[in-house]
Amino acid sequence: MILEKVPTSLRGELSRWMIEPHPGVFVGHVSGMVRDRLWDKVCGQLKEGGAVQAWSTNREQRFMIRMAGNTDRQIVDYEGLYLVQRKTTQSRDK
């Protein structure tokens, strides 16, 4: 999980479940239930920040990814293939 511009308390909460090898980057191996509950917690406490979560699966690319909050990128699902696209200035203003 990658967090940008989030409250310090949220980063502290995540450090109970995962390690933070670089500020805002959390790595760990948790169950699907814990992953989803942590994501709900992150989404509820983002304020002006943004978050990205990726985890391994048995899909073609071998991972899933989701984003929330204020980020300058967006995930595009192109026929089952995840692509990352930078948001245009116009889409950021909306």
Q: How many C-beta atoms lie closer than 10 Å to residue 69's C-beta?
A: 18
H/E element, 67: strand 63-69
**Which residues fall within 8 angstroms of residue 24, CB to CB, at 6 or more apart?**
2, 3, 4, 6, 11
Instruction: Read off the pLDDT of residues 55-86 as tens digits, 9 standing for 90 and up.
Output: 999 988 999 999 999 988 899 989 889 999 99
H/E element, 45: helix 32-45
Percent of the chain with pLDDT over 70: 94
Instruction: Read off the pLDDT of residues 8-50 as tens digits, 9 standing for 90 and up.
Output: 999 999 999 999 999 999 999 999 999 999 999 999 999 999 9
Query: Model pTM?
Result: 0.83
Domains of the chain by start residue, with CATH: 2-93 (3.30.70.240)
